[in-house]
Every structure is written in C-alpha cells, then in structure tokens.
Amino acid sequence: MNPLLFYYLSLALAVPLGEKNHIHHQHKRAPNADPVADPQPVPQPQPIAAPSPETVYVTNIVMMDQFDDTATSTTALDSTPTSTSTDTPNFSIQLVNKNLQSEASPSSTDSSPTTTPESTTESTTVSVTTSEIASSSTANSETAQSTAQSNNSSGSYSGAKGITYSPYSNSGQCKSSSEIASDMEKLSEFTLIRVYAPDCNVISALLDSLSSNQQIFAGLFYLDSIQSDAELLATQVKSSSRGWDAIYAVAVGNEWVNSGTYSADTVVGAVSKGRSILQSLGYTGKVVTVDTVPAYQNNPTLCDASDFAAVNQHAFWNGNIAPENSGKFISDSIDSMSSLCNKDVLICETGWPTQGQTFGSLGVPGKSQQSEAIQSIISAVGDKVILFTTYNDLWKQPGSYGVEQYWGLF
C-alpha cells in the first residue's frame, strides 16, 4: 500500500492498530453492566477530504493482518483462507455520512452489552487497497445476527458429554425463561449443560426445562461475590423438586490463573471458601476451578484444590493442529492432565470458531473446519468433553483475532 496514504489515514484516527492479546473465555457480562445504559458522548472524528459534496469522516480502520505477524490473514465470512498480498495489504475503513445523521435511528441489533453506545449515524463499510475504494453493504451486523444461530441447527453431536450455554441475547440482556426452555429443546442429546453463573434466573429455567437424565455444571464467576452467587444458586436449586441432585458440579472461577486475574494461591483459597459456603447451603457435591492445561501444569496446587481436573482446551489456540486432528490433541491433553493430577479429567470447553482470523498456521476459522474438529473430538473422547458453545455470543467483544463471538454450534 502507498505509505503516504496510510500515514494520512492513520493521522485521522485515534485507534491503536496492534492489539494481540485475545480475550477468550470472557463468558459473562461485565459485573453490574446495564444493557440499556444511557449512551455516552462519542468523540468527534476529524474530517478528511472526500471527492463527493457530502462530508465524510473516517471513524475506524482495521488492518486484516494487524494481529499476528506470522499467521496468514483471512476474512471472517468464509471457511477458506484468503491470501493477502504483502505489498498491498487489505484493510477496512468505516465512513460516516454526516449529512444523514438527523435521519438515522439507533441500531436494534447491538452485538455486545452496551459497553459502547449505539451509533446514531448511518455508516458504510468500504474495503480499501492502493488502487481502489469500493463501497460495501451497511447490513454487515444484521447479517452476523441472522447467522448467529444458524450454523448447524440440524447437526448431531451425539456422543459428547455436554455443552456450554450462556443465557444472554445478542444485545447482552437476559433471555426469558421461555426462550431458555426453547433453547434447551435443541440440547436434549447432552447429559450435561455448563453455565458460568447463576444470573438471569438460568438455574431455575434449566431445572424447569431439562429432562431427569440431564444435569447442570454450575459456576460462581466472580471472586468478590462468591457468597451472594452461591446463595443465589442455592435459592434457585431449592425451588426445584430435583434439588442439589441436579447439580453435577460447581466451578469456582473460569481461567482465573490463565488470564492472570488471580494467583494460584488466591484461586486455591477461593475454591476452599466456595466449597465451605456451598456445604453450608446443603450442597455436598464436586467443587472445582476450571483453568487451562498450562495453568494446571505450572500450578499443580490447582489439582489438589479441585475434586477433578477441570480443563478448558481448544486445538484452535494451539495454531499447529489441523481440525481433523483435534481429537488426538484433546485425548493427549487428557492423558497429560490425568498423569499430572492423578484424578479424573473433564474437558470443560472445547470447540472451533467459524469466523475470524487465522491463528498460527492451521488455526483457520470456518464452518467446515468446526465440523471436522468437533466430529474428531467426539470420536476420540466424546464422553470426556463439554463442547463450546451452543450459540454464537454476539454480546461479547470480537477479541484480538476476531473469533470470540463465533464458536456457536447451533
């Protein structure tokens, strides 16, 4: 690309272009987030010259290869990687037509829980190279919404032990009990449903919807609210005739060590505290903390704290595992964890994204890749894995490789 053109476009922006840390496993809305919060003031973009009479502003630019210097950049809408010339890198610019602001209405399909206010301007996304600027449709977000729950509505995942589920709509608001019940109709083949927290009255909704041979893998997501969340969990469980028997296990935290949120010692203490609180509320079942294989390997005390080794493991994030070899990768991970902890091992998340950028050499997002990975995993170790996840989570942020929203199986 022409260096001078890129220089002036960069000056028009106040957006960093080099985020590399992914935010995977951020499975719950921000604490105390208000899905209908009042919009905050939006910084006024700086104008640049445009060939038309209308005033046009650059508000966002994304380099398709900005996130990984070694990975092959791909687009998010196709399962086949798209090569990008190193001489003329593709990037996207979002243009705002200032003249139409007074007529535009707020979007009704916000894909994340209002950490960013909805725009009241009409925007057009254009794809830019050194030789052309071509206009594209403004309906990109609507397309993402319409495909969010249609990846594999008829696919069978028989043989997998469970699946993860989040009770949030695309906007981040809680789903109703009837909506959760409708979702559970699609998940009857799984004996285990994993949720990350007891909010949205999800435990009660699940207990009203699941069959007698299905159980819930519950979670306490925040360290500073273990007591209140455990009490909320207990209240919902005791309102059901099944009681605590319906709870397979309770996870205290999700990847707290891997994310650097807390030290291993803090997590061990939190698990002990959570177990004591739960016992006082009548629960005597299994209590664990869920983390990654490296987190357990570097901190074996996590094995001692948990009643079984509860691990999230995704072949995609290895970067050098082809989708069809995911089953062997997960199987080897289970063997490694079994030797390390000398306990039963349950993979609490495993999956493959359908959209986003390539990670490493073989981590290529796509629907066909997801299907190959999941079938490989089920064939190898289906009874020891919880698949990730039921639907695309458009309420999340895209993450550093643009994949965080697109792991849905249905």
Contact 250, 274 (CB under 8 A): yes
364: tokens are 């290529």
> Cα separation of 396 and 234, whole Å?
27
Residue 339's Cβ-side half-sphere holds a number of Cα atoms within 13 Å equal to 6
Catalytic residue list contains 349:
yes
> Cα separation of 350 and 311, whole Å?
9
In 191-245, alpha helices (H): 202-209, 226-238
Residue of 19, 132, 231, 349 marked catalytic: 349
279: tokens are 């016992």
DSSP secondary structure, 81-114, as one string: -----SSS--EEEEEEEGGGTTT----S--SSSS
Cα torsion angle, 144, 150, 156, 162, sign: positive
> Cα separation of 286 and 249, whole Å?
5
Contact 287, 274 (CB under 8 A): yes
Q: Which residues are catalytic?
A: 349
